[in-house]
Amino acid sequence: MGMAHPTRRMPIVGFLIRRRAIWLSEFLANIIVALLLIFLMSVTVLYLLKTIEVRRIDRSIAELKADNIATAAMLTSYRHELHVLTLLRKFAGGRVTDTTLCRVAGLVCANGERFGYDPLLLIAVIHVESIFDPSAKGRYQSGNESGAIGLMQLKFETAQEVAKQLNFPNIKKSDLVKPDINLMLGVSYLTQLITQFKNFKLGILAYNQGPGAVMQTLSNGEPLTLDYYRLVLKSYYMLQKMAREIDRQAGVVPEY
């Protein structure tokens, strides 16, 4: 008997890639792994893109909310300023140009918010001091000029001291006829006096008579001259009454 030659087993299913036999099952496994990797990479990329998009949307929403808040605050400020301007027009009775009234309305609202004052109080002080005339010059009862200038009738020496405290040292006398500068310095000075005397009435009186005169009167035990204070309160109460009437006619809740 001749020797039996061992038979070579051929793969049941196979094919040739670069002359090497690859099992179909191995090939399919590689394909599946590759597809899984591609799928995972696609999912990861989509997740990252989605995350970036969500963050972008969140930022947009936050910006819109901030814009809405800022817009609402701006509208409230504009409404308040318009309300004060309407009041000023009625209160001034055509004695002052509309340009000046618009300027005063914006400034008293801004300074009132900055220093914590009712704008009507600032208007009352301005009314008593200058009747809304930005270039007004104060006079003593004798007729001589007192040196007080502008809407809140500041003397240049006083204005210089206040300006230095506000880091505005290079002020000129001509600056006091500018409504924004005059109001800024005047309201700041009034605030200092009220704080110094720890009393609203005394602060108002010191603004008119000077802090030294008020302190001297108090130290001597003499009665204070209240004419100026009464004039400011008279204007203030008149403004409040007119403001309520304007609100009533507009059908809104009074702000003052």
Q: Return mean pLDDT, the chain.
A: 84
Give the rounded distance of the alpha carbon of 221 from its chain centre. Answer: 45
- Residue 168, helix vs strand vs coil: coil
| 76 belongs to a structural domain | no
Most confident of 4-13, 89-98, 150-159, 168-177: 150-159
| 78 belongs to a structural domain | no
What does the pLDDT read at residue 57?
81
Predicted confidence (pLDDT) at residue 23 exceeds the cutoff of 80: no
- Residue 111, helix vs strand vs coil: helix
Check if the beta carbon of residue 196 is closer than 8 Å to that of residue 204. no
| 68 belongs to a structural domain | no
| 157 belongs to a structural domain | yes
- Confidence (pTM): 0.69
Residue 240's domain comprises 91-250
| 55 belongs to a structural domain | no
| 13 belongs to a structural domain | no
Question: How would residue 181 be classed by pLDDT, with cut points 50, 70 and 90?
Answer: very high
- Burial class of residue 157 in the structure, from the number of CB atoms within 10 Å of its CB (0-12 exposed, 13-18 middle, 19+ buried): exposed
What does the pLDDT read at residue 13?
43
Most confident of 72-86, 162-176, 241-255: 162-176
Q: State how far the Cα of 120 lies from the Cα of 165, in Å rounded to an integer.
A: 26
CB neighbours of 138 closer than 8 A, spacing ≥ 6? 129, 145, 146, 147, 148, 149, 153
What does the pLDDT read at residue 117?
86
Question: How would residue 127 be classed by pLDDT, with cut points 50, 70 and 90?
Answer: very high
What does the pLDDT read at residue 42?
86
| 79 belongs to a structural domain | no
- In the predicted model, what is the mean pLDDT of residues 195-207? 94
- The enclosing domain of 172 has a CATH number of 1.10.530.10
Q: State how far the Cα of 237 lies from the Cα of 240, in Å rounded to an integer.
A: 5
Predicted confidence (pLDDT) at residue 9 exceeds the cutoff of 80: no
What does the pLDDT read at residue 240?
93
Give the rounded distance of the alpha carbon of 82 from its chain centre. Answer: 17
| 185 belongs to a structural domain | yes
- As for how many domains the chain has, the answer is 1
